[in-house]
Amino acid sequence: MNRNYLIFDIRRTMRNRRVLIFSILMPLVLFMIFGLTIPKDASEGGISAIAYVMVSMAMFGSMSAAMSSGGVIAAERDGGWNRTLRLTPLKPQAYVVNKVILSLLLAIPPLLCVFAFGMIFGHVHLSLTQWLTVAAVSWLGALPFAAIGLVIGYIAKPDSVQPITGLSTMLIAAFGGLWLPVDQMPSIMKHIAQLTPAYWTGLTSRSALTTGGVDTQALLVVLGWTVVLGFIGLRRYRADTARA
């Protein structure tokens, strides 16, 4: 990790507020549509339905925010910036780790906002430990999406990175059961859902609501996704800078 670079990236992101605001507004709006309209006593798999939707939307928000770092990478590639970096002592791993940390930071505001909404307007009541566990697990759940952002950043051109990110966010969220519970879909959908990292991140986050603990198997799948995608991102970084 390179601290200067991280500060630089944060400043740059703050200047480009559109992405940040969009990543917060989108899950909030969805939460209002799908969450606040639910009767208070409804439940889904032993969890109050509104808490279920809250966690899903928070996950959705943090995941789309985390993936938006792909736009930063695509823009840097387009300008030949990666080539400049190759001509400095910065190690490829440090670049990739930096962008993953940036993604994780971007994932925090939507998480917090959706949780605050759920607490205030959705009247979701959780113990402090549950809040903290859900927040921590949901935050870590952004990791595989940070890695997806990395990969998209290397595959897409700057002008196509937004639609590609948008489309993949929606597909992953929809098929991964973040918008509608997988249990309410035909069983084939459950098999498809299991192929997306979102299913597993949703599972880990919600496990904190029911048991107070964390589904370790799901967490391992999430970390597995992160490692594999992160590795692909690293490979792409090296290949990409070899000759631009």
Partner 1 sequence: MTTTTAVSLRGVTKKYADVQAVAGVDLTIRAGEVVALLGPNGAGKSTTIEMLLGLVKPDQGTVQVYDGTPVEAIAQGTVGVMLQSGGIIEDAKVGELLNLVAGLHKDPMPVEQALERAGIADLAGRVMKGLSGGQKQRVRFAMAIIPQPDLIVLDEPTTGMDVESRRDFWASMHEETARGRTVLFATHYLEEADSYADRVVLMRQGRVVADGTAAQIKASVSGRTIRATIPGADLAALASLPGVRNVETRGEVVLLQCADSDNTLRHLLENTTAHDIEVTSADLEDAVLAISDQVKEQDKAQETLA
Interface ranges with partner 1 (CB under 8 A) = 2-5, 8, 11-12, 15-16, 75-76, 79-81, 83-90, 241-243
Contact 175, 189 (CB under 8 A): yes
Nearest approach in angstroms of CB 243 to partner 1 is: 6
Rank residues 14 and 128 by Cβ distance to partner 1 and give the closer one: 14
Between the two ends of the chain, the Cα-to-Cα distance in Å is: 24
Separation CA 32–CA 242 (nearest Å): 47
The amino acid that residue 36 corresponds to is L
Rank residues 69 and 133 by Cβ distance to partner 1 and give the closer one: 69
Rank residues 21 and 116 by Cβ distance to partner 1 and give the closer one: 21
Rank residues 53 and 156 by Cβ distance to partner 1 and give the closer one: 156
Nearest approach in angstroms of CB 230 to partner 1 is: 21
Rank residues 44 and 78 by Cβ distance to partner 1 and give the closer one: 78
Nearest approach in angstroms of CB 4 to partner 1 is: 3
Is the Cα dihedral 61, 213, 198, 75 positive or negative? positive
Nearest approach in angstroms of CB 136 to partner 1 is: 30
The amino acid that residue 75 corresponds to is A
Nearest approach in angstroms of CB 15 to partner 1 is: 7
63: Cβ–Cβ under 8 A, 6 or more apart, which residues? 107, 141, 142, 145, 169, 172, 173, 178, 198, 201
